[in-house]
Structure 1
């Protein structure tokens, strides 16, 4: 408790409110479309704090909401059997990226985060739905996994290229949501291991991350309620536009 209080005292009132509002918004978006919590969290918090600090805050909310997401759907065993090359490569790529790059801060990391967000937003808005032939999964899954892991280690964002890859597998709606949860869980755990190895994930950061879980869960519940009342297609379009603006700002301003 003392480390948690000290952590948020050091952040100050304005940044503490930003953390709460960010995870509430990110949880809401995840509740509606099944993804977006780490992406939104890193994008907004990256405006006001170092990427490594922002990444540490999302570890517990991202892990528990992803476990919640992958637990329901009834396809977990089948998905693990199909996706294990991707998941293993994500973990390896994150480890290699941690040793090679690491989330050490600086202008280039902020711009890399902005670039990752912008690419993801443009792919969601502009690219048609792709389809991957089963024979191509053998080499494409490890490649996408390693690239996702390296980007994760540098920016804390683990949607590129894993999400477009999963969307191209012609999974059912329930399978896709569960597959996203599985991929994000592995990415979050690999990111946590990398931050711990670099000394960026101590007791204060974990305590602060635990407190961020509450607004994330409230937001996720709110998002699931909203999902029944609005068009998911419209919401996703607005989400990608907002994400593109945020990514562009980070890319330009650094």
Structure 2
């Protein structure tokens, strides 16, 4: 087995492989949560900077597949309607990614854990904001800035994007196309941002590239098996597991 980083033993690498396989499966089955699962799961044993590096290539490749599945024509229409939100998300991902290496390790665990817990609880209680047409434009800028900042620091801007689309009463039939565009372009910005920040470097890119394999295998299994069980119940169980994992990250940050 290649030594991708002196911080990775074969056992820890296999653990990361298994976490990513699970994340890919959930993304294929219900369309969300792969970055959250990878961050909260791998963060149990792996240093935060290496976790952030590890998620980059799997996010880029999986989101490219999501765009391809939704159709490029639909993607173009989604970009035309939501270009303000997409623009500010991409810019803020690039900017926020530059600050990851300046955050102490224990603080980084909190930065990773708090959004995981908060965003999952919001989805569990079913809260959704309501935005009138009058406030749509400022809401797009503010929501995009928050989502992009979270994306640059913690590698996940999917849950804020879902809340954004719900607030605008986006038809369910077009939500997947819009999400595909936002996730796809955002993941490219994440890649560029962490190439610039130094998180993705000669010691970490191999680890991230290797995790593409379990991510794609998991997605394939999710596509094949996702319609064989109650998706809403599976979604809620996944969210509760993420809450527990996120609380553990916060605990590590607070207790050192």
Give TM-score scaled by structure 2 length. 0.89
Q: Match for residue 100 of structure 2?
A: 102
Distance apart, 1:209 and its partner CA:
1.8
Q: CA RMSD in A?
A: 2.0
Which aligned pairs between 1:59-98 and structure 2 lie closer than 5 A?
59-74=56-71, 75-98=74-97
Q: Match for residue 239 of structure 1?
A: 238
Q: Match for residue 143 of structure 1?
A: 142
Distance apart, 1:130 and its partner CA:
4.1
Please, which runs of 5 or more residues in structure 1 have no aligned partner?
A: none
1:203 and 2:202 correspond? yes
Which aligned pairs between 1:73-222 and structure 2 lie closer than 5 A?
73-74=70-71, 75-99=74-98, 101-103=99-101, 104-222=103-221
Contact preservation (8 Å) 2:97, 2:152: yes
Q: 1:47 to 1:95 in 2, by over 3 A?
A: same
Contact preservation (8 Å) 2:5, 2:203: no
CA–CA distance in structure 2, aligned partners of residues 9 and 95 of structure 1: 27
Q: Match for residue 42 of structure 1?
A: 39
Distance apart, 1:164 and its partner CA:
1.1
Distance apart, 1:84 and its partner CA:
1.1
CA–CA distance in structure 2, aligned partners of residues 156 and 240 of structure 1: 17
Please, which runs of 5 or more residues in structure 2 have no aligned partner?
A: none
Q: Match for residue 253 of structure 1?
A: 252
Contact preservation (8 Å) 1:51, 1:155: no
Distance apart, 1:94 and its partner CA:
2.0
Give TM-score scaled by structure 1 length. 0.90
Aligned residues: 250
Distance apart, 1:131 and its partner CA:
4.1
